[in-house]
Amino acid sequence: MNTKCCAKCRLEYPLNEFPRYRDARDGRYYHRPYCRLCRNHKQKEYIQHHPEQVEPKYLRQRYLKHVYKMTVEDYNKFLITQGGACAICRTTDPGRYANFCVDHDHTTGMIRGLLCQKCNQAIGLLQDSPKNCKQAAKYLQGK
């Protein structure tokens, strides 16, 4: 079994004790330099010294910016345009999470609208395909 030495505690552990990450440059997976215990301890220390970095408001801003290249203001504009409801079923309940899901085209990255969790999962399971949606509608109508 392969082992590795932790850069912090200097103890040797099996490779599965080191979290993996994917390198953005070459796409290969590597093991982090710190063992799980040291990494967890390091993260707890960071959170104690930077509590503002883990506030839900701040995390939401970072997530929208990183994943969808949009600001909270952009999100709110979409929500106002849609009347505060899901773009498909018109419910005002976003579902399990406190916010509506940002629906986007996976090939172009363009944002289509905001959906409740159920509608977002439904179109995802239908593979974002208008053809599959039409077939499902026909099926439900009994045709």
Question: What would the mean pLDDT of 101-129 be, rounded to a whole number?
Answer: 92
pTM for the full predicted model: 0.63
Query: Rounded to whole angstroms, how far apart are CA atoms 138 and 143?
Result: 5
Backbone φ and ψ for 125, nearest 5 degrees, come out as -70, -25
- Same domain for 38 and 87? no
- Same domain for 38 and 61? no
CATH (domain of 83): 3.40.1800.10
Amino acid (1-letter code) at residue 9: C
Count of domains observed in the chain? 2
Query: Rounded to whole angstroms, how far apart are CA atoms 96 and 110?
Result: 24
State both tokens at 65.
Answer: 């910016």
- Same domain for 45 and 60? no
DSSP 68: I
Taking only the tens place, the pLDDT of each residue in 53-107 is 778 788 889 899 999 999 999 999 999 999 999 999 999 999 887 899 999 988 8
- Same domain for 39 and 65? no
Burial tier of 24 (Cβ tally within 10 Å: 0-12, 13-18, 19+): exposed
Domain holding 15, by residue range, is 3-50
Say what the pLDDT of residue 1 is: 67
- Same domain for 45 and 63? no
CB 50 within 8 A of CB 39: no
Say what the pLDDT of residue 52 is: 79
